[in-house]
Structure 1
Amino acid sequence: MKKLYYPKAFLCFIIVCMGQQVNAQQHVEDLFKSGPADATKLINAYFDPLYKGLGAGLTDGWTNTAKSKGFLKFDVRVSATAAFVPQSDRTYDVNTLGLNNIKPALGSSSIGPTAFGNDEEGGRMQIYTSGGLPTTSFFNLPQGLGFHVVPSAQIQATLGLPKNIDISLRAMPKVQISEDLGSLSMIGFGAKIELLPLLAGKSEKIIPIDIAIAGGFTQYKYTLPLNTNNSSNSDQRIDARFNGVNIDAIVSKQLLFFTPFASVGYQTSNTNLRALGTYNFDTGNGTSATFTDPVSSKQTNIDGLKGTLGFQLKFGFFRLYGSYTESKYSMVNAGIGFGVGK
């Protein structure tokens, strides 16, 4: 019978997709025992850097040049983004969350590591009844993964259209990672318009740079089947959606096979995470509780400006990409691709 390992299992799908290994899971089904309201607050606090880091990565890596592609010219790229979790987002304090039925046990710390915090358990918690009476149920806040970088990946194809416009598609069909780690899919759409040919006609030959406006939308969907404590409740699962939107102004200059670029833009992302199904738990003192669809969280994670410096190297059909972005979570992006035409 599977246990509710879902914070660590949910993180593992990212690690698996990036070719990394994780061999740690933390049993945290006790988070539900205090009721849906407290569980949602704890889960949001624990996952906060994942929401922000993955949300930032969704807006990254769309383009590395302001030059649009010629009509029906195309390229395909695979890239990866690493978003760095600041020190302030590596821990959380349960005393600041407004919990109703969970308090630190006598003499225990109220601090817990977030998902991308240190690989150590947080403070020991005690569950209280709705009337404020302590129960005999205790648990430790779940541990972090022990590293402070949130990875994400982009798989993208770009096609040139008339009028100095190109469009991009990000897509990954639903992939079953494993029975324990669930399934993942991705979809996204983007477009770029090169401005100088539209605004000044042939004068772009005089101005030695390329300028463009670009935008994109990307969504990850993740589903994890669960079988927690009661195998008859086959409807147990986690559904999560991560959405990211960006708009950028880009300047670049092609120097033979090397094209440096700079961009400034706006990014926003949101997360919609739900734990669905019916869950039965022993809550201590000889009592039990049943919760249906106990967690529903929808929040905006990233909303602000960003600045990026990067480059593209082009050798015939082959391309190499790299960039650094300064934003709420700083990021690096690197990738490879191939294409036909300019």
Structure 2
Amino acid sequence: MKKTLFSIILFTVFCQTKAQNINELLAAGIADAQRYTTDYIAPANEGLMYGMSNGWFNSAESKPLAGFEVSIVGNYSPIKDEKKGFVLNTASYQNLQFVDGSTGKSVSTALGDIDGIRVFAESEVAPGVTERVEFDLPSGLASENINFIPTAFLQVSVGVIKGTELKARFFPKVNSNDVKVGFYGVGLQHELTQWLPAEKLWPVAVSGLIGYTRLDGSYDFTSTNIVDGANQRFETTASTWSFQLIASTKLPVINFYGSIGYLSGKSDTDILGTYVVRQGPFQQTFEDPFSVSNDASGTRLTVGTKLKLAFFRLNLDYTVAEFNNLSIGLNFGFR
């Protein structure tokens, strides 16, 4: 499946490189499809929420009144091996079974690369008559040789009142093939050391930051041989809150900064459209069959450095969290 890099990034956002296999899960019934989809996309949605919450700051010094900075921020989050698979136990499912007779085995998440897992669903539809349907479980991004989650956005920071800086970030809504995605965020940073006596003499600055980010998007996909229908799509919203305590040096050219923080986020994915199951024991039509929700929360530790040359600034930092992240920012500012 050939996609441009940009399209792949958007598919990463929605975790659906193999969505045609996801709708085949409806051949095993809504309950099984919903349970599987929740586990399948959870790590990708979690990684997305961590990724889109990075890059809020490059200094603990808040800008003075009318001071501003425009930043282009890119994030790279490598995918850990433990996020690429989950154990599917057939005892937790009503109809889904492994063709090879296993009762439990590791299968791919939307970030993984486990291929060739064959499953089936069967049931007696009349006395002595059994219907059965077989299909492969989907693999994920790693099967496309993508082992990271990227995010990028434009951010603007403005000093509003003494020691307080207002931030706004956005990624303009873009249509690419069957994917639509865009996000925005707002943040507030306040310098705490300004309240200390002779604060200009302190070699470091300390500030607190609160940031909110929200993503909205959708992905339209085609029907398969097993499941027909119309207007089949996923619609996803994800929102996060980021809380950071930041410290940085106060040198004229090269500075170092770090933070300790906490992330809280939630994503909701609605599977919408008409789905007509044409094979197996559960042949019926579903309209907007189900939704799944995923949460993300955890602490994060960031260390970084910033180079300042007149109006141009360059920063680089690394965050240790449930999904580690490398962030780079190109910044243009005044004051």
Report the AA paired with residue 325 of structure 2: M
> Considering only aligned residues, what root-mean-square deviation do their CA atoms show, in Å?
2.9
Paired position in structure 1 for 2:29? 35
Paired position in structure 2 for 1:186? 183
Q: Deviation of residue 135 (structure 1)?
A: 3.6
Taking structure 2 as the reference length, what is the TM-score of the superposition? 0.86
Query: Structure 1 or 2: larger strand share?
Result: 2
Partners of 2:153 and 2:112 lie apart in 1 by 25
Give yes or no for the alignment of 1:253 onto 2:249: yes
Paired position in structure 1 for 2:192? 195
Task: Show structure 1 runs of 5+ residues with no match.
Answer: 19-23
Paired position in structure 2 for 1:98? 92
Paired position in structure 2 for 1:53? 47
Paired position in structure 1 for 2:75? 81
1:236-284 C-alpha deviation (Å, 9 max, x unpaired): 3211011111110000003221121010011111110001122111132
* Preserved CA contact (<8 Å) 2:213 2:241: yes
Compared CA separation, residues 48 and 16, structure 1 to 2 (3 A): closer
Paired position in structure 2 for 1:112? 107
Give yes or no for the alignment of 1:311 onto 2:308: no
Partners of 2:155 and 2:8 lie apart in 1 by 18
Percent of matched pairs sharing the same residue: 28
Q: Secondary structure of the residue that 2:256 maps to in structure 1?
A: strand
Report the AA paired with residue 27 of structure 2: K
Task: Show structure 2 runs of 5+ residues with no match.
Answer: none
* Preserved CA contact (<8 Å) 1:127 1:134: no
* Preserved CA contact (<8 Å) 1:111 1:122: no
Paired position in structure 1 for 2:121? 127
Partners of 1:163 and 1:263 lie apart in 2 by 22
Give yes or no for the alignment of 1:238 onto 2:237: no
Q: Secondary structure of the residue that 2:141 maps to in structure 1?
A: coil
1:80-106 C-alpha deviation (Å, 9 max, x unpaired): 222232222211122178221101113
Give yes or no for the alignment of 1:290 onto 2:285: yes
Q: Deviation of residue 58 (structure 1)?
A: 2.0
Compared CA separation, residues 163 and 79, structure 1 to 2 (3 A): same
* Preserved CA contact (<8 Å) 2:180 2:218: yes
Paired position in structure 2 for 1:21? none
Partners of 1:170 and 1:318 lie apart in 2 by 19
Q: Secondary structure of the residue that 2:48 maps to in structure 1?
A: helix
Q: Secondary structure of the residue that 2:284 maps to in structure 1?
A: strand
Paired position in structure 1 for 2:263? 267
Aligned residues: 321
Report the AA paired with residue 121 of structure 1: D
